[in-house]
Amino acid sequence: MPTETPERIEGLAIGDFIGVREPTKRDAIYYKIVAKDALFFDWVYENEIAANGGQVTTQTITNLNPPQNNVHQITEIELYANVLIQIEQASGFRFGTSLLDVIIGDRIFMLGNSRFVNLWIDKDHQPKATLINNTPVALSNIKVGFGGWRYLVEESKAKPAIISNATIGGFK
């Protein structure tokens, strides 16, 4: 399981096994982690968001779509503006096509600090984001930082004795 340190969540180790449950699939697919790298990505919404509750149409964050045989674990999200962000990812099998949301904003953490999350992403299951501006002024060039781990994986034919579960479609 990921271990939390004051600096960042350390993620899984090379050689660990993960059981990935994708939306619409009942059974997990088991993978062995063969390589690991830190993941840092800044997503910038360049258009203007109107003041007093202005909202951006939900945007797919396509750059968080990992290549084949890769799994991303997002462990922190950081806002660089005084806005609320709603992150969505298609939920798992038992929820059908509904979306699972987490709202992060200035009431939950101070500006410039990170919110620790546990969001797993595999190919074609990247998250979507909606930005909401509750300030009295219009804002543009909103930057959202994503940090975590990028794992290169290979499929395991048998279920390993010890695994970490990675559910695609939801936050922890």
Give first-to-last CA distance, the chain, whole Å. 13
132 lies in some domain: yes
- In the numeric block, which tokens belong to residue 23? 């939306």
**Residue 92 belongs to a domain with what CATH number?**
2.60.120
Instruction: Please give the average per-residue pLDDT across 50-58, as a whole number.
Output: 82
Asked if the structure places residue 101 within a domain, the reply is yes
In a domain, 12, yes or no: no
In a domain, 130, yes or no: yes
Model confidence, pTM: 0.77
The answer to whether position 2 is within a domain reads: no
Indicate whether 116 belongs to any domain: yes
- Residue 105 scores a pLDDT above 50: no
In a domain, 41, yes or no: yes
Q: Is residue 49 included in any domain, yes or no?
A: yes
Half-sphere exposure of 141 (CA within 13 A, CB side): 0
Q: How many domains does the chain have?
A: 1
Domain interval for residue 99: 36-150
Percent helix, strand and coil across the chain, each rounded to 5? 5, 50, 45
pLDDT value at position 106? 39
Backbone φ and ψ for 52, nearest 5 degrees, come out as 55, 60
pLDDT digits (tens, 9 = 90+) for 14-33: 999 999 887 667 788 899 99
The yes-or-no verdict on residue 153 having pLDDT over 90 is yes
